[in-house]
């Protein structure tokens, strides 16, 4: 059974919205962190050489594919919540 994370930051209790499982929320945080890492790794190695990157195009393609798979899992785990009446 999946545990749901109910976040109510700035949202009224009866409001509608999406619920994420705790695992999906953690995956989303990891995707964010991986994107930040990729942003740093794709900065030019030398300040004057924008053509040379620390990662090869094949490595970047693999990273982006992995991130897409992870995001698919988060999207699949999201559940719509209707407002309670």
> Tokens for 80?
């719509």
Residue 21 contacts residue 2 (beta carbons within 8 Å):
yes
Q: What's the confidence (pLDDT) of residue 3?
A: 55
Q: What's the confidence (pLDDT) of residue 10?
A: 47
Q: List the single range of 4-8, 33-37, 75-79 with lowest mean pLDDT.
A: 4-8
């Amino acid at each position: 059974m999946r545990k749901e994370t109910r976040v109510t930051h700035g949202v009224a209790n009866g409001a509608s919205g999406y619920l994420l499982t705790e695992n999906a929320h953690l995956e989303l945080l990891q995707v964010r962190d991986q994107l930040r890492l990729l942003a740093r790794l794709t900065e030019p190695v030398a300040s004057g050489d924008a053509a040379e990157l620390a990662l090869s195009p094949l490595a970047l393609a693999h990273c982006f594919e992995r991130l897409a798979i992870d995001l698919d899992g988060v999207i699949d785990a999201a559940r719509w919540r209707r407002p309670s009446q």
